[in-house]
Amino acid sequence: MSSEPAVEVVDLVKEYELGEIASLQHTVALVRWRLGGERPRSDTVRALDGVSLSIGQGESVAILGRNGSGKSTLVKLISDVTVPTAGLIRVRGRVMPLLSVGAGFRVELTGRENVMLLGSMLGLVRRDIAAAMEEIAEFAEIARAHLDTPVKRYSSGMRARLSFAASLGLPAQVYILDEVLSAADDGFKERAAQHLETLRDGGATIIFISHELALLERICQRGVWLDKGRVLREGAIDEIAPDYHVYLLELAEIKARNRGLRLEVEEMPAP
Amino acid sequence: MAPVTGATSGAAEPELRAGHGRTPLPVRVTTPTARRIRPRDVFGTLPMATVLALRDFQSRYKQSLLGPIWLIVQPLTMLAGFTIVFGSVAKVGTEGIPYALFAVVGIAVWTTFQSSVLYGTRSIVANKGILSSMPVPRLSFISGTMLGTLPQFVFMVVLAIAAVPVAGRSLGPQLLLLPLCSLWLFALLYAIIMPLAAWHTRYRDVGSVVPFMFQAGLFLSPIAYPLSQVPEGLRTIMELNPLSGVVEAWRYALLGSEPSLLALASAAVWTLLLLVGGWTIFSRAEPRFADVV
């Protein structure tokens, strides 16, 4: 194993446009502006505001943070789905992104065809995908007859299991999971966790976003806590996760109290 | 993934297999560059485009009784319609060429143009799901649509070639120009689709305009009639239509009819201008498709 990190992120900034990109209303506003009226507002939001991070090869890292803290944006950028506004990303090896369940599935195609498609999109050759097929089907608990049935006939649970099994069953160096186990039942969750442990112990790098802290503590070594697009804290997962949990509870308590007082305090100061 | 990313991408992508750390892993570096693809990526992304084209082809004809036979029904229906209306009713002059034979060439070009521009424009938005969760090179969606029109295209070309001797005429040595004519057609299509597909991600209006363009375009291009039948002043305007030149080249290659040089020249200039412009627009928009689509 080399000492070079699998994923390096330096001063990463990502801005998104706010509001509708195009609408008749918007067009009218633009015409008004051209005719000497007020300039229509165009705002941007900073989803990531200077994140730096280094993840070693074979390391498994949990990304924690509330909704809107920038977790998904960070993994989207690492997965090369979109480009940063500023900063730099360096990734070594093949990345397997599992950013949403069943994304990219063609429901008209069979389970087998979809696994082939997924593998090909990541640059794998047919032979390698076919070799992993048996194991993927078994992991997803999908019978042979179902594997050759269009995905549109699958139950949503089956789709989710196949999507998960296919992503983790295909060879890569870096696996990225963004909140993909929340819909799974406990049985599958357990097997998924075992599979992730096997991958981790086999030397794969794992970046894991989940709101299930117990699962994160089991799979990951390190935790990175994002808040408003910045790294708030990072360290060993068994330090970060409990603190994060306490923070969430306190936040909930403050919100409940404010509601009682009919006050609207949106943000709690970060610890 | 390797081919399109990489302002400063280090290694090319070697065989990758989990667990074998022998070969150095390919490194991908992403920085906020305005443009990350290069013209040669058009060819580099062809394997991925093939995968996407096969997938589209597979899924388009699932749960269909006739499946891919529908591919040939559309141009054949068009050919029958044109032959009845323009060949028998309106009796359009075709320089002594039997009308059906004359029309089959134009229809081969037109149906390829229509289906690739229609699907190509929508190809980015249609693949929203993949786009926002997978690092698939965006160019491969465009190339994929072009490859997807190949079956229909090949069928029409074979039909046109076969129709020449059936109609009692013979193919000349200019038939050797056909590969060049095909390349030209696809270059022009690529050039037209790139900006349309890029704009479509931001403005869905493009998706509404394109089918409407076809309605007018079919009759304003010399598909059903030869340029020589168009009145003088109007003809010059029509010769400036980029599709005119390409159709003229095709008719020359297959039927040996004298092409309009003005049409050929204008189509060549159009192709170059559109390729440069289309590439500029597409390559600037492409990195942020997932943000706006």
Decide: A88 and B30 in contact? Cβ < 8 Å: yes
Query: What is the C-alpha to C-alpha distance for residues B161 and B177, in angstroms, rounded to an integer?
Result: 13
Q: Classify residue B172 as left (phi > 0), alpha (psi -120 to 50) or beta.
A: beta
Any residues with CB less than 8 A from the CB of A205 and at least 6 apart, and which?
A6, A7, A55, A56, A57, A58, A59, A60, A93, A173, A174, A175
Across the interface, of B13, B63, B134, the residue whose CB is closest to A104 is B134
* Arithmetic mean of pLDDT, A249-269: 74
pTM, to two decimals: 0.87
- Chain A: give the shortest CA distance to residue B167, in Å: 42
The pLDDT value given to residue B5: 40
- Chain B: give the shortest CA distance to residue A157, in Å: 19
Contact flag B1-A85 (C-beta cutoff 8 Å): no
Residue of B nearest to A99 (CA): B133
Structure tokens at A93: 């090896």
- Beta strand A174-178 pairing with A5-17: unpaired
Contact flag A104-B203 (C-beta cutoff 8 Å): no
Which DSSP symbol is given to B28?
E
* Arithmetic mean of pLDDT, A223-240: 96
Residue B209 CB: number of other CB atoms within 10 A? Answer: 13
- Chain A: give the shortest CA distance to residue B286, in Å: 9
B129 to chain A: which residues are within 8 Å by CB? 103-105
Q: At what angle do helices B150-166 and B139-148 cross, to 10 degrees?
A: 30
The pLDDT value given to residue A45: 92
Q: Classify residue A142 as left (phi > 0), alpha (psi -120 to 50) or beta.
A: beta
Residue B6 placed within a domain: no
Contact flag A106-B55 (C-beta cutoff 8 Å): yes
Decide: A53 and B259 in contact? Cβ < 8 Å: no
Query: What is the C-alpha to C-alpha distance for residues A212 and A181, in angstroms, rounded to an integer?
Result: 9
Surface of B (136-165) touching A: CB under 8 A: 136
A92 to chain B: which residues are within 8 Å by CB? 25-28
Q: Report residue A258's pLDDT band, with 50, 70 and 90 as the boundaries.
A: confident
Surface of A (56-115) touching B: CB under 8 A: 76-77, 79-95, 97, 99-100, 103-106, 108-109, 113
Residue B116 placed within a domain: yes
Chain A CB within 8 Å of residue B209 CB: no
Structure tokens at B109: 């070009």
Q: What are phi and psi of A230, to 5 degrees?
A: -125, 160
The three-state secondary structure class of B93 is coil
3-state secondary structure chain A: CCCCEEEEEEEEEEEEECCCCCCHHHHHHHHHHHCCCCCCCCCEEEEEEEEEEEEECCCEEEEECCCCCCHHHHHHHHCCCCCCCEEEEEEECCEEEECCCCCCCCCCCEHHHHHHHHHHHCCCCHHHHHHHHHHHHHHCCCCHHHHCCEHHHCCHHHHHHHHHHHHHHCCCCEEEEECCCCCCCHHHHHHHHHHHHHHHHCCCEEEEECCCHHHHHHHCCEEEEEECCEEEEEEEHHHHHHHHHHHHHHHHHHHHHHHHHCCCCCCCCCC
User: Which of B25, B125, B128 should be substituted to probe chain A, the one whose Cβ sees the most A Cβ atoms within 10 Å?
Assistant: B25
Q: Which of B131, B141, B142 is nearest to B193 (CA)?
A: B142
Q: What are phi and psi of B124, to 5 degrees?
A: -75, -50
Decide: B222 and B251 in contact? Cβ < 8 Å: no
Query: What is the C-alpha to C-alpha distance for residues B151 and B74, in angstroms, rounded to an integer?
Result: 13
The pLDDT value given to residue B13: 41
Residue B2 placed within a domain: no
Decide: B110 and B221 in contact? Cβ < 8 Å: yes
Residue B18 placed within a domain: no
Residue B25 placed within a domain: no
Query: What is the C-alpha to C-alpha distance for residues A229 and A246, in angstroms, rounded to an integer?
Result: 20
ipTM of the modeled complex: 0.84
| Element at B29 (helix H, strand E) | strand B27-30
Chain B CB within 8 Å of residue A206 CB: no
Residue B119 placed within a domain: yes
Chain A CB within 8 Å of residue B233 CB: no
- Chain B: give the shortest CA distance to residue A206, in Å: 13
Total tally of structural domains belonging to chain B: 1
- Chain A: give the shortest CA distance to residue B262, in Å: 40
Contact flag A113-B58 (C-beta cutoff 8 Å): yes
Chain A CB within 8 Å of residue B46 CB: no
State yes or no: pLDDT of A83 exceeds 90. Answer: yes
Residue B8 placed within a domain: no
Point out the least confidently predicted range of A114-118, A142-146, B64-68, B193-197.
B64-68
Domain hosting B212: range is: 37-292
More confident residue, B51 or A21: B51
Query: What is the C-alpha to C-alpha distance for residues B164 and B154, in angstroms, rounded to an integer?
Result: 16
Contact flag B135-A79 (C-beta cutoff 8 Å): yes
A17 to chain B: which residues are within 8 Å by CB? 291-292
Q: Report residue A27's pLDDT band, with 50, 70 and 90 as the boundaries.
A: confident
Mean pLDDT of chain A: 90
Residue B15 placed within a domain: no
Low-confidence ranges of chain B (pLDDT < 70): 1-23
Across the interface, of A81, A85, A90, the residue whose CB is closest to B27 is A90
Across the interface, of B5, B19, B290, the residue whose CB is closest to A203 is B19
Decide: A74 and B30 in contact? Cβ < 8 Å: no
The pLDDT value given to residue A26: 83
Structure tokens at B220: 């304003």
Q: At what angle do helices A111-121 and B46-60 cross, to 10 degrees?
A: 160
Chain A CB within 8 Å of residue B208 CB: no
The pLDDT value given to residue B12: 38
Q: What are phi and psi of A49, to 5 degrees?
A: -130, 65
User: Which of B15, B20, B23, B62 should be substituted to probe chain A, the one whose Cβ sees the most A Cβ atoms within 10 Å?
Assistant: B62
Any residues with CB less than 8 A from the CB of A17 and at least 6 apart, and which?
A42, A43, A44, B291, B292
